[in-house]
Structure 1
Amino acid sequence: MYKNNFSSYLKTGVLAAVIIAVIANVLFIVSSLLFGHEIGFIGQDRDTLYIVFITFATVMALLIGTVLFYFLQKYTKNPVVWFGIIVLLGFLYNTYMAEVDLDRDFKATAHLIHVIVSGLAIYLVPKLSKK
C-alpha cells in the first residue's frame, strides 16, 4: 500500500514540504494584510513571524514528519492514525508556544498557519506516500 524505499519517502517529504511551505507563506502574507501586522522576510525578534522562519519550520517539520511516517508504516498497523496523533500533539504544542511567545499581533496568524499546515500534513504525507 505504501512505498517501501526510504529515499522515496525523502522525496515525498521534500515535495510535501515545498507545497505546504508555499501555502503557509501565502497564508502569512494574506493574513498580515487582513490583521494589519508587518510582513518581514527575516529578522531577530523572537516574538515576530518572518517568512524565512515560517519556511524553515515548515520544511523541517515536514521532513521529520515524513521520516516518522516511514517508520510508522513499517512498524505499525495504522500509520495514518498514529501520524495524525503525533501531528495533533505537535499542533497543540505549537499553539501553546505561539500563545506564550508571540506578540499579540501575530497570534491569530500563527494559529491559522498551524491549523492549515497540520491539516495539510495529515492529508498530504500519507497520500503522497502511497505507491
Structure 2
Amino acid sequence: MSDDDLHDIPGTTVFTGEQTRKGYQLNQFCMSLRSAANRKRFLSDERSYVDEWPMSEAQKQAVLTRDWNAALAEGGNIYFLAKILATDGTSFPEAASIMTGVSVEEYTAMMIAGGRSPQGLRSIREGR
C-alpha cells in the first residue's frame, strides 16, 4: 500500500511515520499533561503554556481551539490527544461526536451497533 493509498481513505488520518515526525512536539506537549502541576499551569494560561513547546502555530491553534480533526492532521495521535480531553473533562464519545458531526447519542448508538458501515464512499479519488 502506497502513501497515496493511505491518504485516500475518506475521513481518516492514518498515523504514519511521517505523521509521527510531524506531531512529535504536539504529542510530547500532550504527555506533559500527565502531571497535575502541568495541567494546572496549562488551564491557568493555555497560550503561555503551549508557547513553551516548539510546536507549529497550526498545532498550537488546534490545541487552543480544541479542533481535534486539525490536531490529527497536524500529527497528533488520538491516544496522546486524550490527555487534553482528560484535562478538560471531555469524554471520548463527546470528542468523537464533535469530530464526526453527530450527537453523542448518535455516536454511542452507532458504536453499540457495531460502528460505521463499511458500505459507501471508500476512496476519495473514486468519489470525485
TM-score, structure 2 length as denominator? 0.28
| Greater RCO (CA < 8 Å, at least 6 residues apart) | 1
TM-score, structure 1 length as denominator? 0.27
Structure having the larger proportion of residues in helix:
1
Question: Which structure has the larger Rg over C-alpha atoms?
Answer: 2
